[in-house]
Amino acid sequence: MSSEVSIQVSALGKSFPIYDKPHHRLMQMIAPGPKDRWYRTFRALNDVSFEVWRGETVGIVGRNGSGKSTLLQLICGTLTPSAGTVQAHGRIAALLELGAGFNPDFTGRENVYLNGSLLGLTRKELDERFDDIAAFADIGEFIEQPVKSYSSGMYIRLAFAVAINSTPDILVIDEALSVGDEAFQRKCFARIDAIRNAGATVLFVSHSAGAVIELCDRALLLDRGELIAKGTPKHVISHYHKLIYAPIDKQETVRESIRSSTAVIHGVTSTEYVAGSPEVVEPEDGACFEEGLLPQSTVRYVSRGATIEDPHIETLQGRRVNVLRRGQEYIYTYQVAVQCVAAAVRFGMMIKTLTGFELGGAASAPQGMSELIVAPGQLFVVRFRFQAQLAPGTYFMNAGVTAFEEDGETFIDRIVDAAMFKVMPDPYRLSTGAADFLVDVDVSELAREAA
């Protein structure tokens, strides 16, 4: 990532007229007097400002109708701002409405050249890249057939292949990675990684928290057309989830608290805990407890009738620890105090990396199969026994309680980054990567072939 600005957005605003009746559009043009009396103004974006550096990958999250797609269209130039300015430097490839420039009567080959020219590629460049585009789309002989005969999956694959092979300076993606089968999605992610490694800027809109955390360097949270938070993906996603899972009558309070207290959510590093002189008690098994190892990134959801208390990790003998020995078993436990009647209640946990990537977790019952009904005044102790088959490093734990309500299963309490722990280095470790799959390695020498 360089110090050169790739995208500059300053006080950007976009408004749309809303007409109560169809003929009001005509009356606005021909009737005398003020024009604005025939429509109401809807502000899709209001005073949005941020910068994206060249080579940076930025995720944009928000509820439906928050202005994400409008923002991307303004950056791509398909919409004109009502206020403010937006500047993008370099060739843009936009994965917004995939295949929007396709002619259904043209063959796949003809549409590659048509769509590629719209993306700024010359005839010579398209000739050189056609084989790569066809191979990426992998639709076989259908490349020579009219696209109106394509299935929706084939249509999307070809459109994505054209856009992704245009060598953009700025790649804009709006939920396009949700198309296709798993193998094709993995190929798309790999291609995006190659574009990022080549120094391109990537803007990525998605409702997938894992994708944003895994792909992005920073994240922006939009709500009702306003930019209410920006910072590391892990922290922005935590506040985004807090907002969307808040009860309807408390969403405005949650929104304002995010705006006022976390307008800029600063990044954290591997020292993401309260500094101090840790008091370490190290027994013979190596696991110990550090007093100063406390997360500063904790986000508690608005309670819907339950309260999670005292989440922590213990040894099997009940001793509290947060510095663990790889391969040993531990218990993650918390208490839940209930203040309402709730049905189909489940308790859960999740282990995440430093960047917020979800490694894995567990629930007390499969989704939709819990028969637990709770009542006010009940107190539960939840215990998850797990093996610390993890690489040395720092990890975070979530705690959550769900119940079935009218709109489906929802959290009645949840704490993101409720606890943190470290796994100690192991000089004899053979596994690689974040998780240890207990792989057994066998190496044997084959007999040499006689001369």
CA distances from 385 to 161, 214, 290, 332, 393 (A): 45, 27, 21, 6, 20
Is the pLDDT at 386 greater than 80? The verdict is: yes
CATH of domain 5-90+169-261: 3.40.50.300
Work out whether the CA dihedral 222, 226, 232, 236 comes out positive or negative: negative
Q: How many residues does the chain have?
A: 451
| Residues 251, 297: Cα–Cα separation, whole Å | 20
List strands edge to edge, sheet with 40-53: 40-53, 5-18, 83-88
Tokens of 16: 């749309």
Is the pLDDT at 178 greater than 70? The verdict is: no
Which tens digits make up the pLDDT trace of 129-148? 999 999 988 898 999 999 99
Question: What whole-number percentage of the chain has pLDDT above 70?
Answer: 90
Q: Hey, do 5-90+169-261 and 280-423 end up sharing a CATH topology, with the first three levels equal?
A: no
**Mean pLDDT score of the chain:** 86
155 alpha carbon, distance to own chain's centre: 26
126 alpha carbon, distance to own chain's centre: 33
CATH fold group of domain 280-423: Coagulation Factor XIII; Chain A, domain 1 (2.70.50)
Which has more pLDDT, 438 or 104?
Answer: 104
Q: Is 234 exposed, middle or buried (0-12, 13-18, 19+ CB in 10 A)?
A: buried
Instruction: Find the range with the poorest average confidence among 248-257, 345-354, 384-393, 433-442.
Output: 433-442
185: left (phi over 0), alpha (psi -120 to 50) or beta: alpha
Tokens of 249: 């009558």
Transcribe 263-299 into DSSP letters: SSB----TT-S--S---EE--TTS-BEETT---S--E
Domains in the chain: boundaries = 5-90+169-261, 280-423
